[in-house]
Structure formats: C-alpha cells, structure tokens
Amino acid sequence: MNFSPLKWIARNISALLLAFILAVIVWVSAVVTSNPNIEETFRPIPIEIIGQDPNLLLLGEPQSSVRLTIEAPTSIWNQLNENPDLMQAWVDLSGLGAGDHDLKVNVLIDGSPLRLIRVDPAEINIRLEPLLTKEIPIDLIVNGEPPLGYKKETPQMNPGEVQISGPQSAVSKVFQAKVVLDIAGASQTVTSSVPIEILDENGAPVTGVSINPNQAAVTQPISLLRGFRNVAVKVVTLGQVANGYRLSNITVTPPTVTVSSADPLIINELPGFVETLPIDISDLTDDIEINVGLNLPEGITLVRDPSVLVQVNIAAIESSLSIPLPVEILNLPPGLQASISPASVDIIVSGPIPILDTLSPTSFRMVIDLTNMAPGIYQITPILDLIPNQVQIESIIPERVEVVITIAPTATPVPESTTPTP
C-alpha cells in the first residue's frame, strides 16, 4: 500500500491546526509574560509649531507641551525613556490667517507595537496677528539747567527716529518715542547714550513691541557765558608739621570754581587758578578739615559759595627699633621648676618715630604659658603682650625658646634642737 502525504494531511488537518493554534498561544503567553504591556502617561514632550506665515505673529503663550498616554510592551517603554526624540508633537499653521484658531495636536511615535490611548491636550488655541512695522521721530527732552555762568546750546541727537515692529494691536498703541537727558548742575558738555522710551497717548510704556535702535546718542553742549571763567583752586599753606610727621596729601572741594567780572579783560588775565587764604599747618600731628576763603583779585567775584573745603592729611614718619625682652613664665604647675633658654628675646618693631622714641622694654611683656605642662623639654613660641598703639611687630628673634621643666627639689627638714631639763 503506497503512503500518500496529501491524503495523510487531509485526514489530520484538524489536529495540525489545533497543534499550531496551541503553539501560537504558548508563544504569545511566553512573550507577554516576559515583556508585559504597560499603560502609562509619558512625561511632557514639546509641541513644535510649523507652517507659520512670516507676516503673522504668534501672540500670548500657547500650550507648549503635551502628555501622551500609551499602552506598550516594557521593551518599547524602555526605548522611549532612553530616547524621547522617538516621540514628536506638532501643530500646523499652514494657510492660517489672523485670528484665533483651535488646532489639533499631531503626534508621531517611532516604535511598535504600541497603542496611543490619549493626547492631553488634544487641541491648543493659537492667536495670530499681522506683523506691523513703522518709523516715528524721537522727541528729545532736556531736564535741568547748568549752574550760574553757564549756558546750554542746541543739543544734538543721533538717530532722529526709531523703527517699531510688533503685533498690530501693540504697534497701533504707540503715540510717542522720546529720550530724556538730565543736565542739572552740569558745567561742561554732556554726552550720553539714553534709552528710547515708547509711550502710548496717556504716557504709559507700550509693551510687546521691539525697537531699533533702543538707545540714542545725545550731546548737549554747555559753555561759559561772557564774563565768566572756570579756574582751578590752589591751596596755600604756612609753616611745617611737627617733627616726625610729614604732609601726605591736600585735597580741595570743589577743585575748580567759577568766577565772574563785569570787565571781561580782568577775567581773561587770570592765570587759570585762584589761591586760598593761607592755612597754618605748624606743628600739626593729625588730619584737619577746614573751610577757607579764596584770595580773589580786585574786580573778581565767586559765582557760588565764598569758601572751599580743604582737607590736610598728616602721616607719621615711620622707622624700626630692636628691643630685648625677658621671657616671663606663667602658670607653672606646683611642685615643678622651669628654665628658659635663651632667657630673653629680641623684638623688632616699627611705627611713627615719636612713638618709637618713647618705647622701652617695660612697654611690652613677653610670656610663655605652662598651664598643665608635665616635666620634659619643650620648644615653645613666646607670646607678646601689651603692644602699644600704632606699633607693628615685625619679628621676634628667636621665634621659639627651649623650656626645661623638672620636679622641684624637696627641702631637707632641719632637726629641732632639744634642751636638757635641769
């Protein structure tokens, strides 16, 4: 009898199908057990905006991210967590005009198998407005006045106009562009870069627009009137400071003054400075501050205060001095004795000569503290105490001394004499 494979398959087809189905079920069960499906919400991913007309501006702050709820095997979740770029979200503004638009959030996930369950939010609102650009002149406002004897001339500003761009609703509010320069008290030409202010018709700042440039260069010329002149102040002193001291600095406030005269010829003949009345600095040992008048030529008057403030700084001439000091022992424990080698040290001090001239070894105290010290040999840094004011310690020679601590010898008792009884 011949064996026919086709007949055998035909007779056992149902058994073969059942075996195949069971094998698939077992395989799927094994896969699901080792790589189970998980439903979770992924961390926010950014929403990209594409297709925007360059002549339209996006207003406000539309939703910038979206959260996706996904069902996927564990292996797919691992891929998404390791590479978030596999998920993309965007809205398409192609062909949209000005106004409010509710747009669907498009999502693309590069991975399978998975099931996208929810997009939150599924739509976002987009508001578009026409981009408007215009140029307006800049108004220059100069506040304040120069001091008496000076005049301000015609100011200069560059540029004279500013370009404003932004959404139509904001640009249409612009009423004025201005810069404000303050020259109060200025006695020379003022040059400054001043911010440009963009204001509405009520004088309030307009926000949401860009300006180019955002600053203007302003020059306000200031010059002296005829019959006025600005001159330096020269301080005149008499005498010498005390011995051991020196004159370290002299300052005057203000350093220049404005003078005037009814006769312009007298003003022109001034040498460029005026002197103060003499200041006596004889035997000074400290700084002084004094208001002093000016020695003005006849026919010349001061425009402002009749005096200036002079500060005279005096500094001591410094030197150095070497002084030997004995080393004292403090807090030696009972029952011990100590010896110091060397028994004295030299200190080098610096300071004003008048102070150094008064110093002696009794002006200082050099000590070592032996609190809780046990018998032995030590190298100890002595401590300098009672340092006079204005004196600096430059060095101590030597820096350490040797201290030998031993047990103090016990005194031998003297026997009492006995007198015989008669």
| Domain C-terminal end among 283, 316, 349 | 316
Q: Radius of gyration of the chain from Cα atoms? A: 48
CB 107 within 8 A of CB 119: yes
Together in a domain, 368 and 402: yes
Report which of 132, 271, 96 is spatially closest to residue 206, judged by C-alpha positions: 132
> What is the spatial order of strands in the sheet that 344-352 belongs to?
383-385, 365-369, 318-330, 344-352, 392-397
pTM > 0.75: yes or no: no
Task: Categorize the per-residue pLDDT at 34 as very low, low, confident or very high, splitting at 50, 70 and 90.
Answer: low
For residue 217, is it within any domain? yes
| Domain C-terminal end among 224, 259, 284 | 224
What are the residues whose beta carbons fall under 8 Å from the beta carbon of 206, sequence distance 6 or more? Answer: 170, 173, 174, 198, 199, 200
The whole-angstrom separation of Cα 271 and Cα 69 is: 89
For residue 195, is it within any domain? yes
What are the residues whose beta carbons fall under 8 Å from the beta carbon of 39, sequence distance 6 or more? Answer: 69, 70, 71, 117
Least confident range of 21-30, 76-85, 360-369: 21-30
For residue 419, is it within any domain? no
Please tell me the number of Cα atoms within 13 Å of 309 on its side-chain side. Answer: 3
CB 38 within 8 A of CB 74: yes
**To the nearest whole number, what is the mean pLDDT of the chain?**
86
Give the per-residue pLDDT at 60.
Answer: 81
Together in a domain, 302 and 249: yes
Give the per-residue pLDDT at 422.
Answer: 40
Together in a domain, 209 and 250: no
Together in a domain, 135 and 216: yes
Buried b (16+ CB within 10 A) or exposed e, 40-57: eebeebebebeebeeebb
The whole-angstrom separation of Cα 311 and Cα 332 is: 54
Q: Any bridge partners for residue 234, and if so which?
A: 275
* Peptide bond connecting 121 to the previous residue in cis, omega within 30 degrees of 0: yes
What are the residues whose beta carbons fall under 8 Å from the beta carbon of 154, sequence distance 6 or more? Answer: 221
Does 156 score more than 80 pLDDT? yes
Together in a domain, 113 and 154: no
Question: What's the CATH number where 337 sits?
Answer: 2.170.120.30
For residue 334, is it within any domain? yes
Q: What is the pLDDT of residues 52-97, one digit of tens each?
A: 998 898 888 889 999 999 998 888 888 888 898 889 999 999 989 8
Together in a domain, 198 and 257: no
Collapsed DSSP state (helix, strand, coil) of residue 35: coil
For residue 415, is it within any domain? no
| Domain C-terminal end among 316, 349, 382 | 316
For residue 232, is it within any domain? yes
The DSSP code for 240 is -
Q: Which helix (H) or strand (E) holds 320?
A: strand 318-330
The whole-angstrom separation of Cα 148 and Cα 224 is: 9
For residue 189, is it within any domain? yes
Together in a domain, 258 and 289: yes
Report which of 344, 299, 311, 339 is spatially closest to residue 325, judged by C-alpha positions: 344
Q: What is the pLDDT of residues 380-420, one digit of tens each?
A: 889 988 788 888 888 888 888 888 999 988 755 545 544 45
Sequential DSSP letters for 158-225: E-SEEEEEEEHHHHTT--EEEEEEE-TT--S-EEEEEEPEEE-TTSPBP-S-EEESSEEEEEE-EEEP
Together in a domain, 254 and 171: no
Together in a domain, 252 and 281: yes
Q: Any bridge partners for residue 158, and if so which?
A: 217
For residue 206, is it within any domain? yes
Average pLDDT, integer, range 207-221: 93
Least confident range of 17-26, 77-86, 198-207, 214-223: 17-26
Phi first, then psi: what are they for 209, rounded to 5°?
-120, 155
What are the residues whose beta carbons fall under 8 Å from the beta carbon of 319, sequence distance 6 or more? Answer: 350, 351, 353, 356
Together in a domain, 148 and 213: yes
Average pLDDT, integer, range 305-334: 88
Together in a domain, 351 and 286: no
How many domains, the chain?
5
Q: Structural domain of residue 251, as residue ranges?
A: 228-316
Give the per-residue pLDDT at 36.
Answer: 77
Together in a domain, 362 and 338: yes
